[in-house]
Amino acid sequence: MEETMMMAKQPSLIKSKFKAAGIHLGISSVIFLILAYFIIFKWYPFPYFTADGGWQGIRIVALIDLVLGPFLTLVIFNQNKSRREIRFDLSIIAIVQISVLTWGIYTVHNERPAAVVHWDGEFYTIPAKNFREQGISLTELNQFSPEKPPLIHAHRSTDMDTLHETLRLSTEEMLAPFEQFHLYRPFKESRDEIFLNQIYIDEIISSNKMMKKELEFFLAKSEGKLSDYIYMPLNARYHNVILIISKDGDVLGSLNAPYKDQSG
């Protein structure tokens, strides 16, 4: 008799577990959409989303928010427990999910590109954590550019004191020149000098059909000619990008270069 009652309760228990997990998933989905908005449009805006870790950030948040929380509810929830026990279980799940999600958000936010710095003919994305580790407030970067993230030029100085400081930071702090704040200058003030190192894009797209199609689409959309823009390489963390820049120094688009080899 007891066995028959237990078998009758089993489908009901499973159904209640999936119902609770579904409710949890619905709530988590709303939170995920809010976080996705910030990741895509605020922290990793185009063209840095795919090139500099936005996709990875979305995956981290999705794994925690849409998978971990609902899965814990599915496993732990039991309608046959007392209300006090159910509240306790749900509180533990919420604490675990919020704790891990807080870590995930902090990591994604800390890794976002806080500046795009030109040095020696290339642009480099610098994550926010690099500046924080140097004790530099991100608001200090606003003096160089109003864009988000700001475009900055790392000036190659011939001043001996500056050269000594650059060498010291490179050897003692292991900072590349494009990470060194004392070299920073407004990008647009130096754009004529910087544009001397532009890429001859016609040579590149002649051997890359995908990039050629991307550029043709951009030119059709912007109603411009190939010669109307400047093309500069962006050395990002996950794959290289060629920035399409107006002659006034505004980033208008990008072309996807081959992905980097992340092995090793």
Q: If you average pLDDT over residues 62-81, what whole number do you get?
A: 91
For residues 152 and 118, the answer to whether their CB atoms sit within 8 Å is yes
Confidence band for 20, pLDDT divided at 50, 70 and 90: very high
Confidence band for 262, pLDDT divided at 50, 70 and 90: very low
Q: If you average pLDDT over residues 67-89, what whole number do you get?
A: 91
Q: What residue has token string 């100085």?
A: 157
Question: pLDDT tens, 171-225?
Answer: 999 999 999 999 999 999 989 889 988 988 888 888 888 889 999 999 999 999 9
Looking at the DSSP assignment, which residues form a beta bridge with residue 234?
A: 123, 241
Question: pLDDT tens, 129-145?
Answer: 999 999 999 999 999 99
CA distance 37 to 63: 16
User: At 256, is the secondary structure helix, strand, or coil?
Assistant: strand
CA distance 11 to 6: 9
